[in-house]
Structure 1
Amino acid sequence: MELHVVINGRKDLAGQLYQQLRGAIESGRLAAGTQLPPSRLLAEQLGISRKTISDTYAQLTYENFLTGVIGKGTYVNARSTPVQRKQSHSELASAEVIESWCNLPVFLRHPTLEGSLRYDFIGGATSKGQFPHDDWRRCVSHAMRQMAGSKGFYSVAEGLPALRNAIARHIAFSRGVNCQDEDIVVCNGAQQALDLIARVLLRPGSLVAMEDPGYPPARLLFGTHGATVVGVPVDAEGIQVQHIPDGTRLIYVTPSHQFPLGMPMSHARREALLARAYELGAIIIEDDYDSEFRYEGRPTDSLHNLDQRGIVAYVGTFSKTLLPELRLGYAILPPAILEAVIRAKQLTDLHASTLPQWALAKFIAEGCLLKHIRRCHTVYAQRRERILARMATDLSPWLEAVPASAGFHMAVFCRVPIDLPLVIELAKKVEVGLYAIDGFYYQQPARSGMYFGFGAIETLDIDIALDRLRDILQQVAG
């Protein structure tokens, strides 16, 4: 790739080159560590003598802007503070919109490696030690060969046919979901699926109903589309359908493993929800984010399978079964909104990256995903049992687990008044990551409690972490 330098005329060539290179370094356009072209190549590119290039490099090296490495080349050595932007967002015509985005709260962001704790009960994360790196590497190599044989054009917005077919087969086997390949749209994670559905259904002022407590990123996302979000209370059977208001256009639920409390929605409640949505002319988003990991009880039918009228959009993700960094999810869409969502997908990012799509299609087709889920299921079941055992014994004076039969997080309520912010802060000091559930409540009164993710913490670390939690609770709550 050529270095962008513009030479005007034939006067003061060295001066022009010097000013442009120095300006690029000072502004940050040429970052520290960037290798500059050899003098011969740059001379050919600019049509000037090699000596002019060499003299300029020498001058910039003398001034400590460049450094030469024998046998390797010339590199940018340092740069001064980048030019400050003069205009703040408050001076722009769109200041109010920008401010609203800047003021959005941040939920469920995973820490960087440097900011992570030794014993972390963070939710939505998996242990990389369980990931089948060798199988995935082989599938990525297959994907590279597939791409090498392609014409290099953009792909289709709805996703590669091979992956859509693999997803249809996988969820038919693992979740009993009956769909066709053409019903599926591959997305960059479940969050994009929610965004695309919202784009085609919502306008400013549209009513959206969702569980309360519920998934904050979904609520915030719907709000950015101008929707009015109504928090509907939940009980032991799931969302209380009778509280879904008239005029609701979209209903968001997590029926297989309610987020964050964990209970499944009863069959009767599912039937009532479908009837209410049909009465309202609303679409239901069924977010089935981690129900592949089920530990007890019989499987329940998905809302999608019970739907006889085409009003359920089923959303799934591979972030929970594989890795969050993979950023691949999917939506199984009813015919009424399928084409609209595909158009929206095409306008937002054309399509998801084809390399991981090819790799995942191969990974699923060869049975690697099912083997990985079975392996993780055994591990997660052990971790879940260990946490439940501790909640029923030495932690029981303070904490009570909420019954949950699936997923890899569980919620616990406080049995007695506890200063949870203090407990969480003290836990950080002993390298234990704890998380309160009060931020998941929206319009309903918040209950005091925490949620324990057990996807990322190692099994042998659980007792160590809970011992430290017990000691803190004895200190804070007596």
Structure 2
Amino acid sequence: MARHPHDVQLTLTLPPTGEALRHRIAEAIIDAIRLGRLHPGDALPPTRALAAELRVARAGVVEAYDELCAAGYACARPGSGTLIAPGADAAAAAGAGSHVSDRPAPVPVTEPTPASPTWDLTPGCPDTGLISPDDWRRAWRSAAAAPIRPHPPGPNGHPELRRALTVHLRRTRGIVAHPDELVIVPGVNAALRALAAAADLAGQEVAFEEPGYRKARLTLEIAGARLRPVTVDEDGLDPAALRESDAAVYCTPAHQYPLGARMPVSRRARLVALARESGMLIIEDDYDGEFRYDVSSLPALRSLEGGDACVAYVGTASKILSPSIRLAWLLPPRPLLRGVHDSLRLSGENACEVTGLALSEFIDSGALTRHLARASRTYSARRTALVGALRSQRDLMEQPGVDLAGIEAGLHVVLRLPDGVDDEAIAAALGGHGLAVPGLAPYRTTVDGPRGLMCGYARLPETRAEAAAETIARVVGGHLR
């Protein structure tokens, strides 16, 4: 005898309006399965009967049944109607739906977002408002008009940008190089990773400035290098502190990060000579070498005699334009160029082709030269205003151990504080007063390292310098008393 599906008396309550009718009917049937009112093998009412009971159009019921069948909750059998499918009860209990809901997602309950600081003195952040909108749009229009290339650029890519940068580096940093020697990467960290792999720095000792750039330190440590802190002084890193066991040295000679020292020519020459004699690799991070005030330009380490054999020069668009561009350039020593290419091919790290074309047009058109001149004038005025405002706070500046450092170049000055002061706590207190000023704590690795605040002035209007200095003096003075 043929078996017939069980007829069930089905009473449905449709969910509130908000979704399509078919979704609401299907959801009501799944709820009935979840509550045990419908079981696998049960027959659903004929579409016409259910439509009459719900007082809706029959087309909506037909579509709901089709949706349930497509989701696996039901199956249609000729002569038997539409049945609840095997396993439907388990699926309903697990909360599986028949469709992706088009109702708005509930707003998650999150912690309130901290208010933006009144004045942001975070170092290394340029003022993007100084970029000429006309020049910027023109560069991107030119990039957008170029043919779309089918493959990622790779280490041999960006020919237009490499050609433009070699001209820029020769004019601004005295570095003479062929475009084929330059490598475009998506950020300084990518350059450091490629260098560490090419020079096989994993497990080797690398001298590193103390205090020094935290992100570079972490990148090299993750690459396996054993970093040895070398304390810097008022002239930056001292070559006399290096050892024969150092396979490489990382330094920021243009404007030591974070203390701001400019390495004098005598030390630069000794450092390059030492590296040539010992086979040591010098990693020269020239992160904001374009900005200097009231002082003459000093040659990059890479530009010195023999620098092409031992100096890896790293530059970036982050400080001259914006960190959001995600473009940096690496000029490795000639013996390491092939290894850098191999490392980048293996890692797959590529800088955006379109961004590279836009930057090359920005350079070739003369827009970068105009921008650097305009930015240098503005940053110089803002530096003068902030330094003058801080020096006018005599109750603070006359305290023992308080001084300003690194004022000749870059985008920040350091307010040096007495040894042992908790500059991290002071930075947090300043944040409570609407002032974002980081301390030196994240940049030092030794307990007895220098104390101070890094006061970036690139985005601080001259008219705000006095108020910012007064807030710094009040908060710092409270901690020193």
TM class by shorter chain equals 0.7 to 0.9
Contact 2:318 2:325 in 1 (8 A): yes
Corresponding residue for 2:350? 351
Corresponding residue for 1:56? 67
Q: Work out which of the residue numbers 264, 268, 275 in structure 2 matches 1:277.
A: 275
Counterparts in 2 of 1:440 and 1:165: CA distance versus 1, 3 Å: same
Q: Quote the offset at 1:76 in angstroms.
A: 5.3
Corresponding residue for 1:458? 461
Corresponding residue for 1:379? 378
Cα distance in 2 between the residues matched to 1:260 and 1:364: 28
Q: Quote the offset at 1:285 in angstroms.
A: 0.8
Q: Where does structure 2 lack aligned partners over 5 or more consecutive residues? A: 1-21, 31-60, 72-94
Q: Quote the offset at 1:288 in angstroms.
A: 0.6
Aligned positions of 1:13-28 closer than 5 A: none
Contact 2:190 2:349 in 1 (8 A): no
Cα distance in 2 between the residues matched to 1:442 and 1:210: 11
| Residue 134 (structure 1) aligned with residue 107 (structure 2) | no
Counterparts in 2 of 1:235 and 1:477: CA distance versus 1, 3 Å: closer
Q: Quote the offset at 1:217 in angstroms.
A: 1.3
Contact 1:295 1:406 in 2 (8 A): yes
Q: Which amino acid aligns with 1:206?
A: Q
Q: Which amino acid aligns with 2:321?
A: L
Normalised to the residue count of structure 2, the TM-score between the two structures is 0.75
Q: Quote the offset at 1:422 in angstroms.
A: 3.8
Cα distance in 2 between the residues matched to 1:207 and 1:419: 31
Aligned positions of 1:2-151 closer than 5 A: 52=63, 56=67, 75=102, 77-78=104-105, 116-146=116-146, 149-151=147-149
Corresponding residue for 2:285? 287
Percent of aligned pairs with the same amino acid: 27
Corresponding residue for 2:316? 317
| 2:137 counterpart SS class | helix
Counterparts in 2 of 1:66 and 1:135: CA distance versus 1, 3 Å: farther
Corresponding residue for 2:166? 168
Q: Quote the offset at 1:302 in angstroms.
A: 1.1
Counterparts in 2 of 1:123 and 1:56: CA distance versus 1, 3 Å: same
Q: Work out which of the residue numbers 175, 184, 205 in structure 2 matches 1:186.
A: 184
Counterparts in 2 of 1:339 and 1:232: CA distance versus 1, 3 Å: same
Cα distance in 2 between the residues matched to 1:293 and 1:113: 34
Contact 2:389 2:465 in 1 (8 A): no
Q: Quote the offset at 1:433 in angstroms.
A: 1.2
Q: Work out which of the residue numbers 284, 288, 304 in structure 1 matches 2:302.
A: 304
Cα distance in 1 between the residues matched to 2:398 and 2:96: 65
Greater shift in the superposed pair: 241-250 or 368-377? 241-250
Counterparts in 2 of 1:135 and 1:51: CA distance versus 1, 3 Å: farther
| Residue 402 (structure 1) aligned with residue 434 (structure 2) | no
Cα distance in 2 between the residues matched to 1:196 and 1:113: 37
Counterparts in 2 of 1:225 and 1:55: CA distance versus 1, 3 Å: same
Corresponding residue for 2:6? none
Corresponding residue for 1:333? 332
Contact 1:319 1:327 in 2 (8 A): yes
Q: Which amino acid aligns with 1:277?
A: A
Bigger Rg over Cα: 2
Counterparts in 2 of 1:219 and 1:77: CA distance versus 1, 3 Å: same
Contact 2:154 2:348 in 1 (8 A): no
Q: Quote the offset at 1:53 in angstroms.
A: 7.5
RMSD: 3.3
Counterparts in 2 of 1:296 and 1:249: CA distance versus 1, 3 Å: same
Greater shift in the superposed pair: 347-356 or 284-293? 347-356
Contact 2:152 2:353 in 1 (8 A): no
| 2:232 counterpart SS class | strand
Q: Quote the offset at 1:432 in angstroms.
A: 0.8
Contact 2:196 2:202 in 1 (8 A): no
Q: Which amino acid aligns with 1:407?
A: G
Contact 2:405 2:415 in 1 (8 A): yes
Corresponding residue for 1:393? 392
Cα distance in 2 between the residues matched to 1:405 and 1:305: 21
Corresponding residue for 2:254? 256
Q: Work out which of the residue numbers 202, 221, 224 in structure 2 matches 1:223.
A: 221
Q: Quote the offset at 1:308 in angstroms.
A: 1.4
| 1:285 counterpart SS class | strand
Cα distance in 1 between the residues matched to 2:220 and 2:404: 30
Q: Quote the offset at 1:417 in angstroms.
A: 6.7
Q: Quote the offset at 1:79 in angstroms.
A: 8.1
Contact 1:287 1:314 in 2 (8 A): yes
Q: Which amino acid aligns with 1:316?
A: G
- Per-residue CA deviation, residues 149-176 of structure 1 (Å, 9 max, x unaligned), is 2452333423311100110111111122
Contact 1:66 1:78 in 2 (8 A): no
Q: Quote the offset at 1:186 in angstroms.
A: 0.4
Counterparts in 2 of 1:66 and 1:305: CA distance versus 1, 3 Å: same
Q: Quote the offset at 1:409 in angstroms.
A: 0.9
Q: Where does structure 1 lack aligned partners over 5 or more consecutive residues? A: 1-13, 23-49, 69-73, 82-111
Cα distance in 1 between the residues matched to 2:201 and 2:236: 27
- Per-residue CA deviation, residues 326-379 of structure 1 (Å, 9 max, x unaligned), is 010101122100111012112212531111011111111001111111111111
Q: Which amino acid aligns with 1:386?
A: A
Counterparts in 2 of 1:350 and 1:237: CA distance versus 1, 3 Å: closer
Corresponding residue for 2:12? none
Counterparts in 2 of 1:440 and 1:390: CA distance versus 1, 3 Å: same
Contact 1:304 1:313 in 2 (8 A): yes
Q: Which amino acid aligns with 1:365?
A: D
Q: Quote the offset at 1:115 in angstroms.
A: 5.4
Q: Work out which of the residue numbers 430, 435, 450 in structure 2 matches 1:432.
A: 435
